Structure formats: structure tokens, C-alpha cells
Structure 1
């Protein structure tokens, strides 16, 4: 930390900006100047003399260019900001300074936001800021915004520049005054959740305002307002990302909630003539859930001042907390309630679609005639597809594991696990390979190619989009048959009845007698839904497919969804991080995206089709 803002200190900062470098320097009194890279704007916050306001100071920390200082440092700040503004205006033709402050002596009638702008007119930049702030909702109500003259910023002991200098050098000086509803006025402590929410929303409003200013007034033409965010990510972010990944890597959730005695339980269930609820056994827990939770909540996510990354980390922590709770509650009724929070339930519309599929597609009568592919042959085909991915990206370190304690097919940590007794119809082998390898393994390694590890361990709720993509890939390669659709629909119906209190036996008999599934298929569906104590995850396959078809119908592209294990509403976040150069282009593409013969199917998807049109 420096003792004073000297001319030498100012010259070093200006020199760094001239060279295109980042500036990150401490100021006297605990202040900070942070400029991610040369940018034609600067946010400013000055702590009131003798009364530091750290809560309001937090609002500028979400920006890529800001200064936090003290009011009494105004003369030195004038020289520092003037030097920065002169250098940036020389590079970009104009410069915007936005000072943020808390409203003094706020009353019930004080607006939530007060914009201080040029008195003689309301330029589009101020109109943009006013509009964006008005869209912020607190308690369901739009914010109150008032626009007044910025004269108080230009006169008096705290002014930085007179109006004449601003006009001469093409500087725009704005102020944003916040009603401090985010602070308890009696104790002076901040309301952390409200502060965080406001900070995220105000940061977006400011970026859009700066984007308008730059587009109109400067030579700097950003491609998107999100590109004005930080490109540099500090070491604490990568450390937190690594800590969350370390906790996620300590347990394999799906394997831990999948029975290891499936074959024996099925034999006993059959022997009882389907009258005795089966007993399932599971792998021993490799971790202490309570200890992992302690580590999880010791991760200082609150120190991440980038709103986007902080949101990603909080979201992931919440998911890991729920997973650990489920593992601790495995084989108890509480397991299902956490599953409903984590994977969702079945709403009326989804149930209606599922029941419609089961009504529209007759029960299969050809099951005995279906040729099954031997497990070793299927494993060899999967290894070939993995080799295809390795040719695109050397970082792919995957493989196929055949094991007798696996039911069917499971991808875990980027590897395909195949049960020795897996019954795989030959005509569906390639479809299942695109499902497991071309989607699950591909997105795992696309995510792993990114600097942010959350993209390969999976964002919360990623399963819905993942399974939607995986099922769609089956259709694209011609392997999504009617029986597969019936199974996906039956999973939804079984999850619905599970959450309504239906027993294992009742769910099994419903599938067998009402929907005419063969015994082994009915068992497999029921086991998957009731495992662990009630796992609602299997409803995501059909739900994800429906949402994905709607997404593609709206003209959106499929490829951005393959960047990692994300959920659909994460796309704006991913796109922002791409604009900010935090994320990289994806190295892997599935085979079907490279096959010109499949292009007509993509055209159909753009035109808009339903799950019933896939058959």
C-alpha cells in the first residue's frame, strides 16, 4: 500500500495502460484502482470522510474498471483520474466517469436510484441507464428512478472536473445515487442477500449503459455489452473452482445410488411372484457427508466479487450440499424429498405428454426377435467412438469399463461403464454410443478443456439438458425407436406416481399390466426410479427433450450446448464468459454434426417438431 498518490505513481499507471496492461494497485486508506485492460470508462466510489461505507463500495467491484478511494483524497484523485481519462480518451476518443454513492438522509419518498446527468439534455446514455434501472425489481415491484442535474458533481469541494474541462476533453461525468435499503440503518450492517442481488442487477445495467456510450461516442465498438466485463480472473477464483471440483470428485453420485445386487434382487422379486418389495444394497460410502459439507461451506465464495462467477460457485455449492444430503439419507424416505429439490418433479403438462406417448405407441410384440449385440462387441464399438474423439482433441483420456456390478450403461467421470449383463439391441448400438460417448463423454471433455472446471463436473441441473441432447442424438443417427420412447415416457409416469406415494410393487405392476411392458423392462424402470429411496432424475430425459426441441424451434444453435455439462438457462452465462474471453472454443464435435447426410434432420428441428414427430 502506498502512503500517497504521487505523480510517479500516476505515471506508472498511465504507462501500464498505454502498453495495454492491467492495473491493480492499492491506494492510501485501503483504496484500490483496478482496470482490467484499457477501457474508455471508469466507476468511482469515495468513502465519506470518517464514515467508511463498504457495502456501497461493493457495487463498483463488479466492474472491469473502477477506483475505490476516500473523499479527502479528492485533489490527488483529480490528478489520477484526469491522467487515466486523458490516456483513455486519446485511445478511444471519449471517456465516461460514473460515480456511485449512497443517498444521504434517505426518507421513505427517496427514489431507489437517482441519476445525476447533464442538465441541458437527456442523452441516450442516460436514457439507457434509467430504463435498465427501472427494470430492476425488488419485492416484485419495479424500481423508482429519478434523473436530476449532475451539477453537484461539477461544483464544490468534492468535484473532480469543471464542466468546461469535460466538454473540452470529451468526458462524460455521471453519478448514480443509491437508496441504502441494503443496509440495516440501526446496526449499519449489510443485508447480504439483498446486497448481492442488487449488485448483480446494477452491474448489468451499468454494462448496458457503458455499451451504449461506447457505441455512440467512441471508436471502441464492443460486440456485446457482456464483453465489457473482466477478462482477467484472479487466483482466488481458480482456487475456489478447484476446491469445489475436489469435493465433487470425492464421490460418484450415480454409482453410489445404483444397487450392486440388481440381478439377485430381481431373482428374489420374481420368486415372490412380485409380492415382496426388493431389498437393494449399495456401495459403501467413500466419504463422510458431514465432513465434506464442512469443507464445502468453508470455501470463501463470498470473496468472489465477480457476480457471474460467484453465482456459478454458489449454485454449485447448493447442488453439492443436496447431493451429500441425499447420500446421507440413502435408503430412507428423506432421500426422495432432496431428489425432488435437485432433479425436480413431474408437472401436469409433462405427465400428459408421457401418457400420450404410452397411449399412442402400442406395446412391443417383437422383443423376443430383437437381436442383442454381445457386450464385448458393443464395448469395442464404443472404444472406436472414443478414438474418434481423441483424434479431435488429445486431452480425451476415456475408455470403457465392463463390470458385473453395473446395471446397463453409466458414464462416470468421463468413462463409460457397461454391465456384463447389459441387453443392448443391435439396431440401437450406434444410438446408445452417441448417447453415452457422443454426448456425455464429449461434453465432459469439452468442459475439461475449459479453464473453469465447473463445466466438466456439471452445473446444477445439467442432467435435463444433457439427457435431452443425448436422446436427440439417438434420433439424429436413426436409433430412437418406439420402444425407447415408451420407456422414457414410462419413467416419467413412474416418477410421478413415486412422488404421490406409490410403492415399488404398485409401480412395477402398473408398468407390467396397464402399459404392457415385459417383466424385465418394468423391473428396470421401477428399480431406477425407486433406487436410493426414490430418485426423480429419470423424468429429465423426456422433459429435457421437450425443452430442447422448443429451444431449437426458436432458431437457436445446438453446438453452444456442447461446451460442457450445463443447463439451458446457463447459456447467457456461458456466452458472457466467452465474450469476456474467460472461456475457449470447444475442441470436440459429435459425429452427427460433421455428417452432411444428417443436415435435413436439423432443418426439420428448426421448422419445429414435437416428441411425437420423432417417431
Structure 2
């Protein structure tokens, strides 16, 4: 492998890996008092603004930034790699700023904009287009509920199709109902939630079929940047994950509408909406009070977290990419980005990276039977 001959590159990659191990935004952005604030918010008839608390950040932002920018990437001979590492350092710097300003109002919001951007007008139009479709009849898969232990059993059964292992933990501090922690190779399930079969079908294909698959493929790559992430990898990773739901016939109208609601909620941040105003806006669009609270927490946490609109833009981009006949396998090599597809293929072709071993099971065949969902994806702008 060509990489073994490039000592400067290996040293730089190892230095960056050492510095950014603690930059896991999701470790810090989830409020620790969600349920308490929910009770107060509902008791006030949705008028008292929640006051969220967050985990303590356990690193010095200034020192970490200084050390990161002192890495001598000019010593990398390969121009493609040098440019990639420059982009990655700026990306990590932005994430450090995000973490450092969690709970500090507009400071966090502006840093979130820098890292994740904000919905464009066409994204808002796409979200409203989805919301025009009628809800489907409640299926049997949505009626029976499973507790967190029963849900864990189903995740373990599903995961037997993949040649890797990971840990499963339970938490009552999540804003999501499940998520993968990349650094720990673990799946976290929300212990406050009772899961339907429809939820489990979505989450297994989303969290394990993509997020855990890319985590495990990243670990096979000698360069740690595949694990820590390329710039704008969130949009691609979430797009791949929701596309896996579609291909496995798990993506239903209720789920797609939740993704659309998130776009409108993130857009409300730019309009200066308070938490309660975002909540009421979502209810006016037809969302349940429980669902509106969850989405409002997701986008208002930290001071204004804009990431959630990327699920829809990512899905649109991945659907278009796949529809044009391109191979999704290079996008499964780690926490990579669609806009760096040429760089990924260059790294593989020149011995700096390895092809994906673990392939998302649902990508083997399009099993979608929902004609409305297919119509919507074909017509997103």
C-alpha cells in the first residue's frame, strides 16, 4: 500500500486523530433535562420557554484549535490529500466552535450555520410539497409497541446479516429515539420510548444499515479521517441512511413528513422564532404535540441547531446520484461526503484507502412498494 511509504502523511493523520477524538458533537448537544422541561412546557400550555442544560465540555477549545492549526499539512506531498486535509482542519475547527458555544444562544446558532448551513427556499418548497400528501392508514406495524429491551433484541437479530459487532446501550437523555456513537462503535436506544415495528424497521436500516456500516468500514481504512469525517459528511450520511429506509420499503409517509417538518423547523430559526413559536407552527401544520415538541427540541437545542434540514437535502442528492447509475459503495467507506467522491476514488485507486467491505443490505435491491414515496423522491427539486 502506497500509504506505508508516506511517513509525513501518517504522522499528520495520527496527530489530527489524537486532537479530535473528543469532537463528538452529539455527546454535548443533547440536553440533560429534556423530560423535566417538557413537563413544565406542557403544564404552561406551551408558553414557558424551556431552559435546557447540557453536559460539561471536557476540553479546552482554544488550545485544541491552536494545536489543530499548527499541524504542518504543507508537508503532505500529494496535492489532492493536502487540499483534503486543509478542508478537514477547517471543518473540525468549526465543530470545536460549535461545541464551545452550546447553550450560548446566537453564538451557537451562527457556528451551527457555519458547519451545517440553513435551508434554501427550494428546500422549504420541497418540505411543503411533501406535507401536501395525505397520511397513510395506520398499519399493523405501527400499532404494536415494544419496550427498549425488546427493541434491542430486534436490533441484534437484524445485525446478524453484517460481519461486525457493536455495543447497545440505553439512555433517557436522547432527543432522538436511537443514534450511533461513532467513536464508541455503539448504538444508543432511547429508554423513554416505546417502539413500533415500523420504527424498528426504519431504525435498523438507518442506524445499522448505514451509520454503523460506515463506522465499521472507516475503521478498516488506515487514515483516521475516514472515521472522524470529511467536510459536510452529515448531509451525505443522513441521505444514505434515509435512502436505505426507502430501498428496504421502510420509509413511510409519516416518517417522510417528520423529515419535512424538520426543514420547516430549522427554517423557523432564521425567522427568529422562539421555541414555543416553532412548536405552535408545527402543530398548525398538522404535527402532534408530542412530535412537535421533539422536533422543536432538536432544532432549538444548543441555541439553534440547523443540522436537521440536511436529512431531506441529503436524501434528494443520494436519490439523484443513485438514479443516474452511480455506485454508492465509495460513499460507504467511512464518514465521507458526496462532493468528495472524486477524492475518495483517488485515495482508493492510489493505495491511500480501501474499498468498502460492509455494504448496506438494502442497497442490493430496490424493495420499495410505496408509489407515493417514489413519486415524491422523483419530483424533489
Q: What TM-score do you get using the length of structure 1 for normalisation?
A: 0.58
Matched-pair contact (CA < 8 Å) for 2:247–2:363? no
- Deviation (angstroms), 1:404: 2.1
In the alignment, the residues of structure 2 paired with residue 600 and residue 375 of structure 1 have an alpha-carbon distance, to the nearest angstrom, of 27
Matched-pair contact (CA < 8 Å) for 1:373–1:429? no
Which residue does 2:320 correspond to in 1? 550
- Deviation (angstroms), 1:363: 8.9
- Deviation (angstroms), 1:601: 5.3
Matched-pair contact (CA < 8 Å) for 2:128–2:260? yes
In the alignment, the residues of structure 1 paired with residue 39 and residue 378 of structure 2 have an alpha-carbon distance, to the nearest angstrom, of 36
- Deviation (angstroms), 1:231: 6.4
Which of residues 320, 333, 336 in structure 1 aligns to 2:109? 336
String of CA shifts for 1:277-310, please: whole Å, max 9, x gaps.
0011111111111121122112111221211111
Stretch of structure 1 that moved more, 528-537 or 241-250: 241-250
String of CA shifts for 1:394-450, please: whole Å, max 9, x gaps.
xx4521111222232121122111111124221231221110011001101111101
Matched-pair contact (CA < 8 Å) for 1:471–1:541? yes
Q: Does 1:575 align with 2:350?
A: no
In the alignment, the residues of structure 1 paired with residue 266 and residue 195 of structure 2 have an alpha-carbon distance, to the nearest angstrom, of 24
Paired positions, count: 373
- Deviation (angstroms), 1:366: 8.5
Q: Does 1:299 align with 2:71?
A: yes
Stretch of structure 1 that moved more, 310-319 or 437-446: 310-319
Stretch of structure 1 that moved more, 235-244 or 355-364: 355-364
Long gaps (5+) in structure 1: 1-35, 37-229, 391-395
In the alignment, the residues of structure 1 paired with residue 312 and residue 137 of structure 2 have an alpha-carbon distance, to the nearest angstrom, of 20
Structure 2 CA distance for partners of 1:269 and 1:364, relative to 1, 3 Å: farther
In the alignment, the residues of structure 2 paired with residue 520 and residue 468 of structure 1 have an alpha-carbon distance, to the nearest angstrom, of 25
Secondary structure of 1:401's aligned partner: strand
Matched-pair contact (CA < 8 Å) for 1:237–1:304? yes
Q: Which one has a bigger Cα radius of gyration?
A: 1
Which of residues 154, 158, 173 in structure 2 aligns to 1:405? 173
Structure 2 CA distance for partners of 1:239 and 1:610, relative to 1, 3 Å: farther
Matched-pair contact (CA < 8 Å) for 1:357–1:485? yes
Moved over 4 A (4+): 230-233, 362-367, 599-602
Q: Which has the higher contact order (CA 8 A, sep 6+)?
A: 2
Q: Does 1:482 align with 2:253?
A: yes
Q: Which has the higher strand share?
A: 1
Long gaps (5+) in structure 2: none
Which of residues 512, 520, 527 in structure 1 aligns to 2:297? 527
Which residue does 1:562 correspond to in 2? 332
Which residue does 1:376 correspond to in 2? 149
In the alignment, the residues of structure 1 paired with residue 131 and residue 354 of structure 2 have an alpha-carbon distance, to the nearest angstrom, of 43
- Deviation (angstroms), 1:338: 1.1
In the alignment, the residues of structure 1 paired with residue 359 and residue 236 of structure 2 have an alpha-carbon distance, to the nearest angstrom, of 17
In the alignment, the residues of structure 2 paired with residue 252 and residue 420 of structure 1 have an alpha-carbon distance, to the nearest angstrom, of 21
